[in-house]
Amino acid sequence: MATHLIELSPVDMQRRLSDALSIYVDAMHYPRGTEEQRASMWVEHTRRHGWKAVAAVQTSDEPGEDPTEAPMVGIAYGYCGAPDQWWQQQVVAGLRRSGADAAHITALMTSYFELTELHILPPAQGRGLGEALIRQLLAGRGEDHVLLSTPEINGEANRAWRLYRRLGFSDVIRGYHFSGDPRAFAILGRALPL
């Protein structure tokens, strides 16, 4: 068994959607059934400008094996941010509330890749796969920045936070509440290329 990273086309993502969503639910410890709520949004995201997805798959390296059908242990995707997207509107509202000036907001929002999802199946975590996925996802991007949101955790004490800090992500907004979600999130970002 070997672990490989493969780029998924929109068609691959739609075919492997239940595997990708199941990794997301297991990694985030969300209740079963969350998959169904997210499925149509993940498909809609595949149509956004600049969408890119990378999966970590476990292959047996048999001749003729199709890696796009191999068991999936990690998934990451994102796309180009745009003003008509709910996430950008939320982040802009948060930046304004935090007192950021218009020039700073424009500089951040004009050209960025939104790293929307990054998840590794729990038994495969802690081996560097998350970092490998993020690096492949961001390789060759033309945007000026990458932005992401991640739940706030006391002391930044989880693998996601350690990974983002190690890769040089810094604070854009802290303790932010997206409308309709009681949890606090951090918006983090860094310049590209990584």
76 — phi, psi (to 5°)? -145, 140
DSSP state at residue 67 = G
DSSP 147-173: EEEEE--GGG-SHHHHHHHHTT-EEEE
For ligand COA, the closer of residues 8 and 120 by Cβ is: 120
H-helix or E-strand spanning residue 106: helix 102-109
DSSP state at residue 89 = H
Q: Determine the length of the chain.
A: 194
Q: Which of 46, 90, 116, 150 binds ligand COA (CB under 6 A)?
A: 150
Q: Which of 120, 146, 147, 187 binds ligand COA (CB under 6 A)?
A: 120
For ligand COA, the closer of residues 80 and 132 by Cβ is: 132
For ligand COA, the closer of residues 107 and 178 by Cβ is: 178
Angle at 15 between CA 33 and CA 38, to 5 degrees: 30
Q: Which of 53, 66, 64 is nearest to 10 (CA)?
A: 53
Cis peptide before 31 (omega within 30 of 0): no
164 is catalytic: yes
Q: Of 33-41, 46-54, 129-137, 175-183, which part binds ligand COA (CB under 6 A)?
A: 129-137
109 lies in the site for ligand COA, by CB under 6 A: no
73 lies in the site for ligand COA, by CB under 6 A: no
For ligand COA, the closer of residues 114 and 143 by Cβ is: 114
Shortest Cβ distance from residue 164 to ligand COA (Å)? 8
Residues that bind ligand COA (CB under 6 A): 27-28, 118-120, 125-131, 150, 159-160, 162-163
Mind telling me the catalytic residues?
A: 164
